[in-house]
Amino acid sequence: MAVGVATSTGPKAYLSRRYRVSASHRLHSEAYSAEENLAVYGKCNNPHGHGHNYAVEVTLGGRLNAETGMVCDLGELDEFARIHLIERFDGMNLNTLDEFRDVVPTTENFTAEVYRIFQGFRGALVVRVRIEETGNNSFEIGDEFGRG
């Protein structure tokens, strides 16, 4: 249970928290022929799929709570992430999930889905989601500007 209330004045503060999720996917579109899928997705179109150890970073923003001095309760955030991110996606093949029934489970689409999910966290406003797929690839979705 959150303690206290956020202030309505003062600077906006940001909190970023990282979570780990291991999942697999195959990049494949039913709209493309086998040759087109291979041309667009290359080795990621492997019929058996492939996996990643994703690092998911969620950035939340808001005014500091006048009593706690925090953007949000980390315990509440971690519980939300456990239920809605880790339990939902860890160890899964993204292609088999309803969220990706009509979209190719690229990491861009996975990032958009995680961003959508964290919109449901009531402890603070989600500003950005960044997913590191590999040491060379990361993807971000967010609304860092124009929000109070």
Per-residue pLDDT of the chain (148 residues; tens, 9 = 90+): 445 445 556 678 999 999 999 999 999 999 999 999 999 999 999 999 999 999 999 999 999 988 889 999 999 999 999 999 999 999 999 999 999 999 999 999 999 999 999 999 998 999 999 999 999 999 999 975 444 4
What contacts 125, CB < 8 A, 6 or more positions away?
60, 61, 62, 147
What distance lies between CA 145 and its chain's CA centroid?
Answer: 18
The domain limits of the chain are 12-142
Which is nearest to 28 in space by CA: 94, 114, 116, 91?
94
Whole-angstrom distance, CA of residue 84 vs CA of residue 118: 8
In whole angstroms, what is the distance from residue 47 CA to residue 25 CA?
10
- Which CATH code fits 12-142? 3.30.479.10
Q: Which two tokens stand for residue 56?
A: 């998911």
Q: What is the DSSP string of 76-144?
A: HHHHHHIIIIIHHHTTEEGGGSGGGSSS---HHHHHHHHHHHHTT-SSSEEEEEEEE-SSS-EEEEE--
| Angle (CA) 3 8 81, round 5° | 50
